[in-house]
Amino acid sequence: MQAKFDNLLKQNHPLAKFNTFGTGGRARLFAEVTTPQELADLVKEASGLDVPIFMLGGGSNVLISDNGYEGLIIRNAIKGMNVEGASVICGAGEDLQALIDFATEMSLTGLEFAAGIWGTVGGAIYGNAGAYGSEICNVLEWAEVVDRQGDMRIEQAGYFDFVYRGSKLKKTHEFVTRAKFALQPGKKEAIKSRVEEILAIRNEKLPLTKPSAGCFFKNIPDPSQEFGKLSAGKLLEQVGAKETQYGQAAVFERHANILINSGSATSSDIRRLSQILKRKVKEKFGIELQEEIILLGEFEEEEVSSDL
């Protein structure tokens, strides 16, 4: 495999700079792809050799083990955007914000809700990114995917079985290469104003100088709450999350559902802090919080006390 893809593959490659926590070990194999065919060829070869594969986009929703990943990490750098009527076709490696900015410039509305959400377009589809009562599934028309055998095809939005913060891709482990978003013509200034409004709100809540991955836990479905979700952040605030720290991992002072690397935290520090917070919420409210982020690689599961 190394000989066939020598121009792409790197061995024992550090992963810390490829995720927003800035932590994690090394990948046994690492490659960055810029075209759908490049991805398909690489996946076909790796699958034939039974090499585990994980796709990284912006690395904004993942916690990578300090022990690294014993397989192939593929970084999606498939880019490019163009307008087709009132729709945008976009490479899955584009930053989600870049797509929103492009749609705004083209006076196309429908993506404003996602302003400020970290990560790539592919990651947003994989996790059905959403905010303010809307989700990616509401605007996706189709996506091109590469399956685990390296075969490429286009699937309509219904194929992905979207749910809150999830999609069929979490089961099939297919990789998104391109996507088409069905938007609506609008007034550029109104679209821009809404995007800036949401960005201002997010910037008030998000750590701009400390590494983090945004919200760590999923909100809890609850029809009685605004947008049908009970805020995990509110529960965490009530159990004193903002005063909790483990090693160099801490809870962001302005948002109880955001964990930060406050200096030289390890992934293990962050993982253990998250376990402490989960236990606090379970003990007080009887609710088992579910991680919104992906845990990649092997983590040691240790009993932790909530008395921190």
- Give the pLDDT score at 205: 82
Q: Which CATH number fits domain 10-76: 3.40.50.720, 1.25.60.10, 3.30.43.10, 3.40.980.10?
A: 3.30.43.10
For residues 206 and 286, the model is more confident at 286
- Give the pLDDT score at 4: 76
Over pLDDT 90: what percentage of the chain? 87
Q: How many residues are there in the chain?
A: 308
Q: Closest Cα to residue 142, out of 173, 177, 170, 181?
A: 181
Q: Which fold has domain 81-191?
A: 3.30.465
CATH of span 208-296: 3.90.78.10
For residues 36 and 303, the model is more confident at 36
For residues 87 and 305, the model is more confident at 87
pLDDT band of 27, cuts 50, 70, 90:
very high
Radius of gyration for the chain, computed over Cα atoms and rounded to the nearest angstrom? 20
- Give the pLDDT score at 18: 96
Residue 303 confidence (pLDDT) above 80: no
d(CA 21, CA 60): 8
Residue 255 confidence (pLDDT) above 70: yes
* Mean pLDDT, residues 227-239 taken together: 94
d(CA 286, CA 168): 29
Q: What is the pTM of this model?
A: 0.90
Q: Closest Cα to residue 296, out of 125, 173, 176?
A: 173
Per-domain residue ranges of the chain: 10-76, 81-191, 208-296
pLDDT, tens digit, for every residue of 163-177? 999 999 999 999 999
Residue 308 confidence (pLDDT) above 80: no
Q: Which residues make Cβ contacts (< 8 Å) with residue 110, sequence separation at least 6?
A: 103, 138, 139, 181, 182, 183, 184
pLDDT, tens digit, for every residue of 174-200? 999 999 999 999 999 999 999 999 999
* Mean pLDDT, residues 211-229 taken together: 91
* Mean pLDDT, residues 212-225 taken together: 92
Residue 304 confidence (pLDDT) above 70: no
pLDDT, tens digit, for every residue of 2-20? 777 878 899 999 999 999 9
pLDDT band of 162, cuts 50, 70, 90:
very high
Q: Which residues make Cβ contacts (< 8 Å) with residue 98, sequence separation at least 6?
A: 81
